[in-house]
Structure 1
Amino acid sequence: MQKKEPIRLLAAGGLLTLIALTALIVSRKSFGGGTFWILLLLLLAAAAWLGYELWLLRRNALRYVARMNNNLERAGQIAPERMPVPILILDALYEVVWYNDAFANQIAGDQELFGRPLHTVLPFRPDALGSGETMEIGLYDRQYRVSRTDYARKSNLTVMFCFEDITNYITLKRIYMDTRPCVLLINIDNYEDLFSGTRQSERAAVLAALESLFDKMLEGTNSIFRHLDEDRFFIITEARHCLEMERAHFPLLDAARRITVRGRSSLTLSIGIGRSGEDLAQNERFAQQSLDMALGRGGDQAAVKTENGFTFYGGVSQGIEHRSKSKNRAVAKDLLRLMSRCSHVYIM
C-alpha cells in the first residue's frame, strides 16, 4: 500500500490541475479580470501545496528507508550475539574467531576461546562433521545436537557450529523407553510330571513359594501379575524392569530352582519376554514366541525377542533335558507352522 501512495498523490494533483485549468479558461471568458487573477492565485497555491506534499512524502520515505537500514544492520549485529542458541564460528584453520553470549554462558564458561583450535574446545574433530550434517554430543551434563554450516567467500572459509540443547528431549525419550510395557509369559516346566501323585497341600505350598518369588521380583515396580492357568503366569511391567532382569540374567530362574517338590525334583521355569514391539499386543505375541523358543530348547531358561532374533538366559539344569509335554507341544507348534507354509509334505 505504501508504494501506491505517491501514484495516488500524483493522480490527485493532476486531476486538481486539470480542474483548475478548466475553471481558469471558463472564468476568463465569462468573468472579469479580478476573478481570473484570484483563480490563478488559487491554482498556484494548489500547485505549491502539491509540491510541498510530494517533498514531504519523499523526505519521509528516505527517512523511513534509512531508519530501516539502520535497524536491520543493528539487528544483524545483535541477533547472533543475543540468540539463545550457542553459536561458534571458526576460520579455515578451525580456530575460534567468534562465539555468542549463549555459547560463553552454557559451554565456554570463563574460558577465553579466541584463537584456540576446535579440538581444545569441543570433544570432536572438525572433520567428524561435514557441512549440513548434525551429531549429538554431551557437554557438562547437557546433551546437544551440533550442526555445521560452511560459508565460502572467494578463498576464505568460515565454519559455523550451532548447538541445540536437547537434554529435555533425551530425558523425555529415556523416560518413554523405560516406561514402555513389557510382557512376560512364565511357564512351569513339567508341571504334570512334577506334581504327579502329590497331595493338594504340597502343590499349594510349592505354588505359594513360587508366588512369593514373583512378589519379591515385582516389589517396588508398576506391574500387573495374573494367573493364566495352573502352570502359566502373565506379567506386564515396565521395560526398565525387564532390562534389569536381563542384566542380572533372570535370577528368578535360580531362585525357582531352589524350590523342590518332595525334596527331590527342582522347580524350573521357562520365561518368554516381549519388549521390542510397537504396542502391547505385539509384545504379547513376541512373549509367546519367546516362550515357545525357550520350551523348544528344553526349558529352564528365559528367551527375549529382539530385532535380530532371540537372546537366551539360563538353561543350566540337566534334569530338564528330557522331553516334556511342554516341549513336545512347542515342537509340534513349530512343525505345524513349517508345514502350513509348504505345498507338499512327505512323512517317512
Structure 2
Amino acid sequence: MKRLLEKEFWQIPEFLRNKHLRIIAVFLLILSLVCATLAFIVNAWLGIIVFLLILLTIGLSFITLKQVMQDTTHYISDLSYKIKRSEQEALLKMPIGILMLNDSAEVVWVNPTMQKLFGQEEILGKKLTEADEELAKVINDNMSNKDSVEIKWQDKRFNMLVQSDINVVYLLDITHYAEIQKQYDDSRLVIGQIFIDNYDEVTQSMNDTNISNLSNYITNELSSWASQMGMFLKMIDEDHYFVLAYTKSLTQMEKEKFKLLDRIRERTSKQNFPVTLSIGLAYGGTDLAKLSRLSQSNLDLALGRGGDQVVVRGVDDSQARFYGGKTNPMEKRTRVR
C-alpha cells in the first residue's frame, strides 16, 4: 500500500512515452469506457462490475509493466557492467600487446602483455624513441598503413596494427607460427639436373686413365657439394646427374652464388681439360612430374645460353634466376639426351 502512495509509482511508464504505444493505450482506454457505458445502459450493476474490472485491469497492467521495466533496466545494467568488465579484463589479459601514445609520441598506457616485451623498464611517460628507438621507427613507418603488417622486433615476429587516429598500437606475437611457416617453406622439394657441358669434346682426345680421373674428380666434387648442402645426388649418365634437395639448401646455394661452377672450371682448366657445368633447378608445388619437367626446361635454358651456368625457377615464378655464365657463350647442346 505504501508503494501505491508513492509519487514515482504513478509516473507514466517509459513505454507509454512512445507516441505510437500511447495512441494504442488511449484507444484501448476509450474502447473500455465505451464497453462500460454500454454495460450501464443494459444494467447499472453490470456497468459497475465492468467499470471495476477495467480499473483493476488497468492497475494490474501498470504494476506488471512497471515490474517488467524495472527487471529489464536491471538486466541491461547488469549486462552493461559485465560487458565493460569483460572489455577491461580483455585489455589486461589478452595475448595482444597494446600501446597508447599521446600526440607527442609519449607512452601513456600499456597493457601487461606489452609491458612484458619491455621487461622491467618503466616506459610510461617516456617518448617512444627513448623507450625503444627500433619500435618507434617501425611504428612511424607504418603510421599511415590501415592494414596489419608483419614486423621483426626483438628477434621475434609480430603482426602490428597502428590506429593513427587514436594513437594506439597493437602487437600480436606470431613468432611460433612464423617458425612453422619457415619450416614448411624450407622443406619444400627441389628437383635439379646437372650436365657436364663439353664432356664429349674434352674426353675425345684423352686416354681411359685420364677420362676415369676426370670423371672421379667431377663426381667427388659434386658428391662433396651435395653432402655439404644436404642433397641427394645420383649419376644418370657419365655427363648427367640428378639432384633432390629442399628449398633450405637452395637458399644456401643461391647465397653462395654456386661457387661450385667456378671451382670445377678453374681446377680442370689447370689440368688442360677445362670442364663446365650447367644446372637446372626447379621448386614449388607438389607435382613431382611437373617439377621434373621444369628442371629439364631450366637445364635446356642454361645450355641454350651457352652453358657454364645455373638456372633456377619455381613453378609459380614468371622469371628465372641465373648464376654463372662466365665463359664465352656458345650453344653446346640444346637438350640433354
Q: What is the TM-score normalised by the length of structure 2? A: 0.69
Match of 2:108 among 97, 108, 124: 97
Partners of 1:28 and 1:189 in 2: how far apart?
121
State yes or no: 1:129 paired with 2:123. Answer: no
2:200 matched residue in structure 1? 192
Contact 2:195 2:240 in 1 (8 A): yes
Contact 1:143 1:170 in 2 (8 A): yes
Partners of 1:287 and 1:179 in 2: how far apart?
23
SS of structure 2 residue aligned to 1:103: helix
Match of 2:70 among 55, 59, 66: 59
1:110 matched residue in structure 2? 120
CA deviation after TM superposition for structure 1 residue 79, in Å: 3.7
Contact 1:185 1:273 in 2 (8 A): yes
Bigger drift between 264-273 and 40-49 goes to 264-273
Residue 140 of structure 1 aligns with an amino acid whose one-letter code is Q
Partners of 2:333 and 2:241 in 1: how far apart?
17
Residue 38 of structure 2 aligns with an amino acid whose one-letter code is I
Bigger drift between 14-23 and 303-312 goes to 14-23
1:138 matched residue in structure 2? 152
Name structure 2 gaps, 5 residues minimum: 1-14, 314-318
Residue 131 of structure 2 aligns with an amino acid whose one-letter code is V
CA deviation after TM superposition for structure 1 residue 277, in Å: 6.9
Contact 2:193 2:243 in 1 (8 A): yes
Match of 1:86 among 91, 97, 117: 97
Partners of 2:40 and 2:23 in 1: how far apart?
25
2:42 matched residue in structure 1? 29
Bigger drift between 249-258 and 237-246 goes to 249-258
CA deviation after TM superposition for structure 1 residue 304, in Å: 3.9
Residue 247 of structure 2 aligns with an amino acid whose one-letter code is A
1:170 matched residue in structure 2? 178
Partners of 1:37 and 1:26 in 2: how far apart?
8
Partners of 2:109 and 2:271 in 1: how far apart?
77
Residue 144 of structure 1 aligns with an amino acid whose one-letter code is F
Contact 2:157 2:175 in 1 (8 A): yes
Contact 1:89 1:97 in 2 (8 A): yes
Structure 1 vs Structure 2: percent identity of aligned residues? 20
Partners of 2:169 and 2:333 in 1: how far apart?
60
**C-alpha RMSD of the superposition:** 4.3
Name structure 1 gaps, 5 residues minimum: 152-157, 296-300, 316-320, 334-348
2:164 matched residue in structure 1? 150
CA deviation after TM superposition for structure 1 residue 142, in Å: 1.2
CA deviation after TM superposition for structure 1 residue 179, in Å: 2.8
SS of structure 2 residue aligned to 1:110: coil
Contact 2:195 2:239 in 1 (8 A): yes
Partners of 2:90 and 2:162 in 1: how far apart?
19
CA deviation after TM superposition for structure 1 residue 95, in Å: 0.8
SS of structure 2 residue aligned to 1:219: helix
1:120 matched residue in structure 2? 130
SS of structure 2 residue aligned to 1:112: coil
Residue 86 of structure 1 aligns with an amino acid whose one-letter code is G
| Cα distance, 1:254–1:305 mapped onto 2, change above 3 Å | closer
| Cα distance, 1:206–1:71 mapped onto 2, change above 3 Å | same
Match of 1:290 among 302, 307, 318: 302
- Give a deviation string over 1:80-101, Cα, whole Å, max 9, x none: 3333211111111111100111
- Give a deviation string over 1:236-257, Cα, whole Å, max 9, x none: 3222223333444545446756
Partners of 1:26 and 1:328 in 2: how far apart?
118
CA deviation after TM superposition for structure 1 residue 19, in Å: 6.6
Contact 2:197 2:332 in 1 (8 A): no
| Cα distance, 1:181–1:44 mapped onto 2, change above 3 Å | same
- Give a deviation string over 1:192-230, Cα, whole Å, max 9, x none: 233336677875675455444444333386645455544
Partners of 1:140 and 1:328 in 2: how far apart?
52
Counterparts of residues 205-244 of structure 1 (less than 5 Å): 207=215, 210-219=218-227, 223-244=231-252
CA deviation after TM superposition for structure 1 residue 28, in Å: 5.3
